[in-house]
Chain A
Amino acid sequence: MKFVDEFRDGALARNIAANIAREVDPRRSYHLMEFCGGHTHAISRYGIADLLPANVRMIHGPGCPVCVLPAGRVENAIQLAQTPGLILCCYGDMLRVPAADGMNLLKAKARGADVRMVYSSADAVKIAQENPERQVVFFAIGFETTTPPTAVAIKQAQALGLKNFSGICNHVLTPSAISHILQSPEIRQLGVLALDGFIGPAHVSTVIGSRPYEYFAEEFQKPVVIAGFEPLDVMQAILMLVRQLNEGRAEVENEFSRAVTRDGNVKAQLLVAEVFELRRVFEWRGLGLVPYSALRIKASYADFDAELRFRIPPLSIPDNRACECGAILRGVKRPQDCKLFGTVCTPDNPIGSCMVSSEGACAAHYSYGRFRGAA
C-alpha cells in the first residue's frame, strides 16, 4: 500500500531499534508518554515494546477521545436518545462507552432508541435533511482533529436552514490536558510518576501546529517530539527523545513534518474559533475538572446547541470505585495494575472507559499485549 507500507518497514525498524539501543544511557531510564490513543494503538498493534531496550518505558497518555469522556456526558446522550422521534448520531467508538449501571448507547439502541453510527459529521447533517420531521442530534466528541468537521456541520446546517439539526459539543483540548498532567501533584511534588518526555499527537498537531507545545517544553523542561501514527514514526520519535534527553535539551521537534507545520491548519483554526468558545471548566474521566480544557457552541450558533435546545442538565457520575482508569489515564498506573483488568473488565464488557476504544490503554494492552503479562 503506497504511502503506508513505507512507514511499516521491518528492516528500517530494526535499524532505528539498533540506534536506540546504542544511544540509551544504561545508567538511567527513559519514561516517555505518548499522549495520543493513536500512538498507543500503533505501539500495541505493531509490538513496538519488543523493539525497545528495557530502560525505555512507554506510558500511555489520556489522548483517547472516548476514554476521557465522563460518564455523565454519556448518560446525557443515552437519556436524550430515548426522546421519542429523536435520532442521535455519533461516531462508532462512542456506542459502547459505559455510563451508569453498564448502560451504553448500543444497549439503548437495542431498547428502541434511534442511535445511528456515522463516519463523519456531514452524514449527520444528511440524516437531518432526510428526516425533516425528526430532531437529529450529533453527539460531537474528540480532540482538535474532529472539532473542525463539527464546526463545518453546524455551519452547513445553518446554511441549509435546518431547524431539526443540533449538536452536543464535547470537544476537548490537548494542550490543557498535557498541562494538567504536568501540574498534577504526582509529577510536581510526589515524584510518583517519572515523566521525561512526550510523543506529541499526530492528527491533532496537523490542526493546531507545533507551536502550542513550545510552552511545555520551556516551562516544564520536557522535550516533545510530534510524531505520525505509523510505527516507524513512533520509533523515530523515541530515538529523537532519547537524543534530546541525553543532550539535556527540552525542545519541540517535529518528526511528522510531512503533515505538521509550526502554525498548523489556520483555516481549520478560524473555523473552530468562529463556531466554538472555551468552557471555563470541563470534567474529564480520570483527570477530573480541568479548567479551560473544552469547547462549547458560541451564542451566535445557539440554535444548533442541543444542550440548550433540550435543556440537558449537567450530570456527574462517579466511576466504579475499583476502576483505575483515572490513574491509568494520568500514567500513574498500568492497565495490568488494575484489579478489574481482564477479569470483570474486558473489551466485551468494559467497566472503565480505557477498555472501550482500541485506542484506550487497557483495550490496547488486552487485545494486543496481554501475553506479556501472562505467567
Chain B
Amino acid sequence: MSTIKPNYTRPLDFKQGRVDMTHGSGGRAMAQLIDELFIAAFDNEFLRQMNDQASFPAPHGRMVMSTDSHVVSPLFFPGGDIGCLSVHGTINDVAMSGARPLYLSAGFILEEGFPLADLKRIVESMAQAARDAGVPIITGDTKVVEQGKGDGVFITTTGVGVVPEGINISGERARPGDKVLVSGTLGDHGVAVMSLRENLTFHTSIKSDTAALHGLVAAMVAAVQDIHVLRDPTRGGLATTLNEIARQSAVGMMLHEDQLPIREQVKAACEFLGLDPLYVANEGKLAAICAPQDAERLLQTMHAHPLGRDAAIVGEVIEDPHHFVQMETSFGGRRVVDWLTGEQLPRIC
C-alpha cells in the first residue's frame, strides 16, 4: 500500500519557525497560517464562513464603529501584550459611546523573520481577550513585510457596536458645573511599558492596566442614563483627553491634584524619569463627565465594578473662553494642565 498522503501538509513549526514572505503571498503557506493559527484561535461561526467578508445580522438602533492600530514596543510587557491590548483598545473606543461592542476585525502586518512562537502567543492572547469580552473577531487580514520594514508585528483592529436607545454620550456635551470622574489609578500602562524600554530598564511591580471597559460602561449607563462624556485616556494620558473634551465642548476644567488616584510606584517612577503621570498612557481607564446631581450615583456604580474600584471625582467643568484645563495643586497653587507637547522628554537637571 502506498504511504503517500496526497493532502498532507506538514504543520507549522510553532517552536522554531519564523514568518517568511510566503506567509503573506496568498498561496498555500498563507492559507495554512490562517487555518492553523488565526481560525484555530479566534474560531467562531462568522469566521467559519470563510468568505472575503464576514456576514452578520444588523441590530436595530444607532451603530458606532472605531479603528485603532497598535505598534507598542516592547510587544510583551508586565500585565499584557500587543494582542490583548489591540482587542481592549478597540472595544474601549467603541464602548466610550455607551455602545455594546458586537464584532471586531483584525489586520496583521508581520515582519519577515518574526518568530511564529511569539505570533502564536500574541494571537492566543487576542483570542482570550475577545472571548473574555464576549466580542468575537469575525474577519481579518495578514500581510508580511520584508525584514527591517516593520517592528515585529503591527495589529489594526476595528470594532462595531450598537448604542442603547436614549443614550447620547459625546465629547461636545460637557457643561459648566459638570463633574469629572476617572475610573481608577492613572499612568499604570505607560510606566509598565517604559520600565522595559531598552535604554531605561528599571524594576517595578507596576502592571499594565489593559482591560476591556464595556462591562463597566454598561453598568454606568444603566445607573445614569445621561452621562455627558466618556473617553479613555490612552496616549497622552488624562491631560490630553481632558484638553480634547474642553476644546470640543468649548469649556474649561478645574482639577484637584489631591483627588487624582495615582499609585505611589507610578508617582515615584515618573519622579525620577522627569515625567508627569497626567500625560502617561492608560489602557484600562476611562474619564466620565456628568451632571453634578448624577456624580455621586455614578461614582458608587463605578466603585461596585471591579474595574472601577479606585474611581474618583477629580474635578469639575467650568466656563472658560480659553478652554484651559487647570489644576489646583496639592501645594495650594494653580496651574494649567496643557496639551502634551511632542513626546514627553526627560529634563536634564
Apart from A91-B348, A374-B322: 10 A-B pairs, beta carbons within 8 A? A8-B330, A8-B331, A49-B333, A119-B346, A146-B348, A347-B338, A348-B342, A370-B324, A370-B336, A371-B326
22 intermolecular pairs with C-beta atoms under 8 Å apart? A4-B271, A10-B331, A10-B332, A17-B332, A37-B347, A38-B347, A46-B331, A47-B329, A50-B334, A91-B346, A92-B347, A117-B199, A117-B345, A119-B200, A143-B349, A146-B349, A363-B341, A367-B338, A368-B336, A371-B326, A371-B334, A371-B336
> How many residues of chain B are within 8 Å of chain A by beta carbon?
27
A222 partner residues in chain B, CB cutoff 8 A: none
Q: Taking the nearest CB of chain A, how far is it from the CB of B127, in angstroms? A: 37
Q: Looking at the complex, which one of A48, A118, A346 makes contact with B331 (CB distance below 8 Å)? A: A48
Asked if A216 is at the interface of the complex by the 8 Å CB criterion, the answer is no
Contact assessment for B342 and A47 in the assembled complex, using a CB-CB cutoff below 8 Å: no
Residues of chain B lying within 8 A (CB to CB) of residue A123:
199
Q: Given the complex of chains A and B, what is the CA–CA distance between A37 and B274 in angstroms?
A: 13
Cβ of A45 within 8 Å of any chain B Cβ, yes or no, is: yes
The answer to whether A203 touches B349 (Cβ under 8 A) is yes
The answer to whether A369 and B341 touch across the interface, beta carbons within 8 angstroms, is no
Asked if A50 and B332 sit within 8 Å, CB to CB, the answer is: yes
Kindly state whether residue A165 has any CB partner on chain B within 8 Å.
Answer: no
The minimal Cβ–Cβ distance linking B3 to chain A, given in whole angstroms, is 52
Contact residues of A between 348 and 375, Cβ < 8 Å to B: 348, 357-359, 363, 366-371, 374
Given contacts A348-B342, A367-B341, A374-B324, contact A93 B347 (CB under 8 A): yes
Q: Within 8 Å CB of B333, what residues of A?
A: 46-51
A305-338: contact bitstring with B at CB < 8 Å (1 yes, 0 no)? 0000000000000000000000000000000000
Q: Which residues of chain B are near A145, meaning CB under 8 Å?
A: 349
What are the 4 tightest A-B residue pairs by CB atom distance, in nearest-first order? A47-B333, A92-B345, A347-B341, A368-B335
Closest chain-A Cβ to B308's Cβ sits at a distance in Å of 25
Q: Are B326 and A13 in contact (CB under 8 A)?
A: no
Whole-angstrom distance between the Cβ of A114 and the nearest chain B Cβ: 14
Task: Please pick, from B199, B264, B267, B329, the residue contacting A46 in the complex, using a CB distance under 8 A.
Answer: B329
Contact status A46-B345, CB under 8 Å: no
Chain B 234-253 interface 0/1 with A at a Cβ cutoff of 8 Å (1 = within): 00000000000000000000
- Minimum CB–CB distance from B266 to chain A (whole Å) comes to 10
Smallest CB–CB gap between B152 and chain A, Å?
Answer: 20
Residues in B with CB closer than 8 Å to A142 are: 348-349
A47-B329, A50-B333 given as contacts; is B348 within 8 A of A371 (CB)? no
Q: Which residue of A lies closest to B349 (CB)?
A: A38
**How far, in whole Å, are A369 and B334 apart by their CA atoms in the complex?**
8
Give 1 or 0 for each of B308-335: 1 = CB within 8 Å of chain A CB: 0000000000000010101011111111
Decide yes or no whether A224 CB sits under 8 A from chain B: no
Q: What is the minimal beta-carbon distance from B339 to any residue of chain A, in angstroms?
A: 8
Given the complex, which residues of A lie within 8 Å of B258, measured CB to CB? 10
Q: Is the CB of A359 within 8 A of B271?
A: no
Q: Is B268 part of the contact surface with A, judged by Cβ < 8 Å?
A: yes
* Contact A65-B349, Cβ < 8 Å, known A1-B271, A374-B322: yes
Residues of A within 8 A of B349 (CB): 36-38, 65, 142-143, 145-146, 203, 229, 359
CA distance A47 to B329 in the complex (A): 7
Q: What A residues does B341 contact at CB under 8 A?
A: 346-348, 363, 367
Say yes or no for A66: interface residue by CB 8 A criterion. yes
Does the CB pair A1–B347 fall under 8 Å?
Answer: no
Inter-chain contacts of A17 with B (CB < 8 A): 332
